[in-house]
Chains A and B, each alone.
Chain A
Amino acid sequence: MWTYEKRLQYPVKITQTNPKIAQIIISQYGGPDGELGASMRYLSQRYTTPYKEVAGLLTDVGSEGSEMFRFSLSPFFDALAIA
């Protein structure tokens, strides 16, 4: 059901560590209004929506959430500590 590609939709490059920003990024990732919650909401609401157009859209957008996981988790570690 789920596949991934070895590329990012939008490449990010963090050049210096910044714990404060790392805190914001991790909140965007799994916080109360973060991507993790959003994608789970999309993917569960798709089952009860009465319109197939919307069900399709929710499935596609919800699947993009996993892109956001990689998109924000890697910058998080970079911002936290660059190896």
Chain B
Amino acid sequence: MNNQPNRKEMLNMINEISFAVLETQLYLDTHPCSTEALAYFEECSQIRNQALKEYAKYYGPLTIDTATSACNDRWSWINDPWPWQEGGC
């Protein structure tokens, strides 16, 4: 239990990388041929997916796609705190 990464730090990191992914997504909508932006998107997107999986393993899934990474034998989606609740975001 001691080598568990800090929840707040992990969530912060996910928030930051998700921001980068989203903004690059919007940029690419209007600049679809920018290879530079495309490369940046791929890089950020990979980091984000990895981080989401990592988070789900310790603290429950943030996305439905990582719900299986939580390695529980029961469905925890409705029990984990919502982001606006104490212990959430």
- Chain B count of residues within 8 A CB distance of the other chain: 23
Cα–Cα, bound, A74→B22 (Å): 23
Q: How many residues of A are in contact with the other chain, CB < 8 A?
A: 17
- The answer to whether B1 has its CB under 8 Å from any CB of chain A is no
* A60 proximity list for chain B (CB < 8 A): 25-26, 29
A74 to B88, CA, bound (A): 13
A-B contact count (CB 8 A): 50
CB–CB A56/B29 < 8 A: yes
Instruction: Check: A40 CB closer than 8 A to any chain B CB.
Output: no
Instruction: Determine the distance from Cα of A7 to Cα of B64 in the docked complex, in whole angstroms.
Output: 12
Q: List residues 26-62 of chain A with CB under 8 A from any CB of chain B.
A: 53-54, 56-57, 60-61
